[in-house]
Amino acid sequence: MKKRTLGNSDLEVSALGLGCMGLSFGYGPAADTKDAIKLLHAAVEKGVTFFDTAEAYGPFANEELLGEALAPYRDQIVIATKFGFKDGDSSKGVDSRPERIRQVAEESLKRLKTDHIDLFYQHRVDPNVPMEDVAGTVKELIQEGKVKHFGMSEAGVLSIRKAHAVQPVAALQSEYSLWWRDPENEILPTLEELGIGFVPFSPLGKGFLTGAINENTTFDKTDFRNIVPRFSTEARLANQVMVDLLTRIAQEKQATPAQIALGWLLAQKPWIVPIPGTTKLHRLEENLEAVNIELSANDLKQIEEAASKIRIEGARYPEHLQKRVGN
């Protein structure tokens, strides 16, 4: 497995990480624990060293799962987790008060069965807590050895600059893919200037960019995609043209649409590390193969030209969640 370094930090990880959320949360019922552990072990065996979780995934169940599955491999891998929601419950709103950050760190360490968190992200900016206080608290946790690196998620450039001035930020984790390219405007140039790595979440467009979802797909009633405007039946129908583009490039490259979606992200910057999620072994294998996809300047130009003519329909978040991003 190829490796990448997140920005100017010394945090080296596999070029693709594994997004673990969907094993416990967000996309219907949690996976069977035995199957989930098998998948996590397979990921380690295939060279994945970067595992993404959060106290909010479950809440708590996903960290507990990783603790159980990854404890035997702890020294070989990097675990990233996140704080920032009230009681760890993303439906209750944000909470990054210093005392809460400390509490989450202690509890996450226990659930993850470890004595250090490699990368501790603020899940969403808390408008009620000065960024200096958040970064200052993580700085103390780093001095105490409980946390190794500081990260942020879906933060705006002003917050990133404020935080970075207090405690260098190793990575920003925000949505980025061929159907959500907003980070290219302000975020990526800022990260490049400051030497911060970028971890695109939902790099497969929550599954849509793989071609496995169409207008007839139905989701479990607990699946988050039921309330995402971009996943309305009309939007899925309209956005199929992006999947068609990926399918066309995939055929040329003897690859799959998912591999092209990931290969395109990897080709944008050498300090980008996508974290696709899956609950299925064969898809894990398929996705990891994307590190071997070579997209030439000409391929990228062709994708760019075709993609620039596509207008993606539907917001990526419902309104109440949209307010939480970019702050």
Ligand X SMILES: NC(=O)c1ccc[n+]([C@@H]2O[C@H](COP(=O)([O-])OP(=O)(O)OC[C@H]3O[C@@H](n4cnc5c(N)ncnc54)[C@H](OP(=O)(O)O)[C@@H]3O)[C@@H](O)[C@H]2O)c1
Among all residues, which ones are annotated catalytic? 57
Identify any residues that bridge with 150 across adjacent strands, giving them in sequence order: 120, 169
- Structure token pair of residue 157: 């450039």
Name the residues that contact ligand X, by CB under 6 A: 19-22, 27, 52, 123, 153-154, 173, 201-207, 210, 212, 258, 275-280, 283, 286-287
Q: What is the CA radius of gyration of the chain?
A: 19
Least spacing, CB of residue 148 vs ligand X, in Å: 18
Least spacing, CB of residue 272 vs ligand X, in Å: 14
CB 209 within 8 A of CB 261: yes
The CA distance from 121 to 150, in Å, is 6
Residue 158, burial from CB neighbour count under 10 angstroms (0-12, 13-18, 19+) = middle
CB 134 within 8 A of CB 163: yes
Least spacing, CB of residue 68 vs ligand X, in Å: 17
The CA distance from 142 to 66, in Å, is 22
Pairing of strands 12-14, 3-5: antiparallel
The CA distance from 21 to 27, in Å, is 9
Q: Which is nearer to ligand X, 3 or 280 (CB)?
A: 280
Least spacing, CB of residue 173 vs ligand X, in Å: 5
Closest CA to 168 of 190, 151, 187: 151
Q: Which is nearer to ligand X, 9 or 153 (CB)?
A: 153
Q: Which is nearer to ligand X, 66 or 295 (CB)?
A: 66
Least spacing, CB of residue 280 vs ligand X, in Å: 4
Closest CA to 9 of 187, 117, 151: 151
Closest CA to 111 of 160, 144, 70, 75: 70
Q: Which is nearer to ligand X, 21 or 141 (CB)?
A: 21
**CA 180, 181, 186, 190 torsion-angle sign:** positive
Q: Which is nearer to ligand X, 93 or 140 (CB)?
A: 93
